[in-house]
């Protein structure tokens, strides 16, 4: 019978999680090990979570580590999460962006912690329903996440009844989804084809330069240490288009006066741009 993990062993593992994917965990979150790593144990034939963590602590980073880190990341999301945010996109952001980009007829959007895809699919449905002229534009919507298993779910575009009942209005459900059995709904290929999904590590991977018109980094920074927040915001600022790129965070998040980003306190929704 293996002994229970010591606090030092848990701390060592949590430090490796933070170095690898940015998520900050302390001993108050120790309970997450049993709650979230059990499925990794079963899939990888480990007799217990304790034995799994010990193996992760003593071995070089590999596929097993990625599975464990993915299991520990929070994948809370829903369709049209924060309705006021999507109203702001529909009423102000997208009309202004269409006007600014009318010559090149291109829009590039990146959701940098996309989880199971509801955020980018909500955006794609919004654009298709309210801005049909964009079907003649080059529209790039990228959804990225550090967790490969959740990205595979996102790519399928299949959601259960509970998921479609969270934030999805009847107009979007009836227009863009097909019921494929008593409790599953499949998103139309016309919407799925608007979105590309890729694995991306906000801590380790190189960011593009001066590229995206909109970056969505919503409800991500709350899980990071201050140093990692500053680092990610540094890199995110370089990925924004110079003249009109917009960064959106979650409703309870801010850049804390980040030196490279200026805040716009719009009454509908706060956003950030590069400082000139």
Radius of gyration of the chain (CA): 20
N-term to C-term CA, the chain: 61
Give the C-alpha separation, 95 to 89, whole Å.
8
Q: For residue range 186-210, what is the model confidence (pLDDT) as tens digits? A: 999 999 999 999 999 999 999 999 8
Q: Does an H or E element contain 168, and which?
A: none
Give the C-alpha separation, 273 to 244, whole Å.
7
Confidence of residue 2 (pLDDT cuts 50, 70, 90): low
Distance (Å) of CA 93 to CA 84, 100, 123: 12, 11, 12
Domains and CATH numbers, the chain: 7-72 (1.10.155), 83-274 (3.40.50.150)
| CB of 210 closer than 8 Å to CB of 241 | yes
Q: For residue range 152-184, what is the model confidence (pLDDT) as tens digits? A: 999 999 999 999 999 999 999 999 999 999 899
- Interhelix angle 7-21/63-72, rounded to 10 degrees, is 90
């Amino acid at each position: 019978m293996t002994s229970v993990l010591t606090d030092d062993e848990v701390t060592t593992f949590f430090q490796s999680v933070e170095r690898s994917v940015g998520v900050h965990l302390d001993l108050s979150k120790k309970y997450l090990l049993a709650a979230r790593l059990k499925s990794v144990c079963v899939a990888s034939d480990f007799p217990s979570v304790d034995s799994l963590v010990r193996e992760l602590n003593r071995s070089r980073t590999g596929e097993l580590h990625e599975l464990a880190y993915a299991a520990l990341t929070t994948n809370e999301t829903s369709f049209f999460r924060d309705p006021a945010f999507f109203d702001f996109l529909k009423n102000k952001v997208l009309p202004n962006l269409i006007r600014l980009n009318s010559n090149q007829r291109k829009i590039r959007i990146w959701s940098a912690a996309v989880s199971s895809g509801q955020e980018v699919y909500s955006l794609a449905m919004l654009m298709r329903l309210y801005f049909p002229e964009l079907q003649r534009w080059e529209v790039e919507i990228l959804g990225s996440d550090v967790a490969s298993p959740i990205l595979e779910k996102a790519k399928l575009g299949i959601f259960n009844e509970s998921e479609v009942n969270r934030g999805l209005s009847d107009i979007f459900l009836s227009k863009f989804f097909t019921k494929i059995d008593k409790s599953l709904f499949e998103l139309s290929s016309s919407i799925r084809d608007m979105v590309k999904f890729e694995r991306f590590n906000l801590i380790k991977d190189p960011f593009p330069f001066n590229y995206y018109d909109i970056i969505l980094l919503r409800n991500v920074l709350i899980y990071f240490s201050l140093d990692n927040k500053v680092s990610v915001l540094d890199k995110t600022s370089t990925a924004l288009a110079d003249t009109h790129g917009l960064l959106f965070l979650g409703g309870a998040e801010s850049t804390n006066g980040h030196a490279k980003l200026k805040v716009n306190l719009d009454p509908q929704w706060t956003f950030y741009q590069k400082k000139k």
